[in-house]
Amino acid sequence: MNLRTKIQTHLNELKLKIKNIDEILTQIKEIEKQIQNQIINFQFHKKAWGMFWNNKSIINIKKHQYLVSIPDLYIPNRSQNCSTAPSPGMKVQIKSAYKKGLQCNFEF
């Protein structure tokens, strides 16, 4: 009886560990999905002369990496309080991206 109880206790502990491993694997899959959704955090900073530029970002597209730089978003006729201007640390989700020659084109 005592041996059977120990075996059952040990079996229950192993099942709990397997359940924890499954939960960890699920979390890893969720992280992989976020990466594959290509959510990119652009770090914008404003230069002294008032133009917005971003730091270069590496985007992983179908297991190919492209080093891209989004051009400045300054438009001379646009008002300073334009709501479409990116905020510092703004997250931008890329809907699609493709390589055309030496340039990467993006659809936001």
Q: Are residues 47 and 96 in the same domain?
A: yes
Q: Are residues 18 and 48 in the same domain?
A: no
Q: Are residues 44 and 27 in the same domain?
A: no
Element holding 25 (H helix, E strand):
helix 2-36
Q: Are residues 44 and 28 in the same domain?
A: no
- How far apart CA 50 and CA 98 sit, in angstroms, is 30
- Average pLDDT rounded to a whole number, residues 69-95: 48
Asked if residue 32 has pLDDT above 70, the reply is: yes
How many domains are contained in the chain?
2
Q: Are residues 22 and 57 in the same domain?
A: no
Q: Are residues 80 and 46 in the same domain?
A: yes
- How far apart CA 77 and CA 50 sit, in angstroms, is 13
Site of tokens 């006729």: 77
- Closest by CA position to 32, among listed 55, 66, 60, 57: 60
Q: What's residue 43's pLDDT? A: 39
Contact criterion met (CB below 8 Å) for 56 and 67: yes
Residue 9's pLDDT band, with cuts at 50, 70 and 90, is: very high
Site of tokens 């359940």: 19
Q: What's residue 50's pLDDT? A: 38
Q: Are residues 10 and 57 in the same domain?
A: no
Asked if residue 98 has pLDDT above 60, the reply is: no
- Average pLDDT rounded to a whole number, residues 62-90: 47
Q: What's residue 57's pLDDT? A: 47
Higher-pLDDT residue of 83, 32: 32
Q: Are residues 31 and 61 in the same domain?
A: no
Residue 46 belongs to what domain range? 40-107
